[in-house]
């Protein structure tokens, strides 16, 4: 079953955040991830919207998504992102 990683990101330092993006992309691709949404701001249809952008990535399984997140490559990306954003990342099983 596929897995969907959903990241809600509030960028606090745009210049520093730029160094995260290529590292993250490389790690995602290494584990077979495919971007469905990349850095898009939502159009809120209901409720209170936060000032965030979304990244949505599909992986073959929750296991693949977890391996991506725990990988040395993505650890480097997360370290590059420190102090550049407030980020929440969830993984859910797809259909």
In this predicted model, what pLDDT tens digit does every residue of 20-33 receive, in sequence order? 999 999 999 999 99
Q: Are 24 and 14 in contact (CB under 8 A)?
A: no
Closest CA to 54 of 29, 13, 90: 90
pLDDT digits over 52-62, tens only? 999 999 999 99
* Beta strands across the sheet bearing 53-59: 34-40, 53-59, 3-11, 85-93
């Amino acid at each position: 079953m596929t897995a969907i990683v959903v990241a809600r990101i509030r960028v606090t330092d745009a210049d520093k955040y730029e160094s995260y993006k290529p590292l993250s992309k490389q790690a995602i691709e290494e584990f077979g991830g495919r971007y469905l949404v990349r850095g898009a701001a939502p159009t809120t249809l209901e409720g209170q919207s936060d000032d965030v952008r979304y990244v949505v990535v599909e992986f073959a399984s929750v296991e693949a998504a977890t391996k991506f997140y725990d990988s040395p490559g993505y650890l480097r990306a997360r370290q590059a992102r420190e102090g550049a954003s407030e980020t929440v990342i969830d993984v859910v099983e797809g259909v």
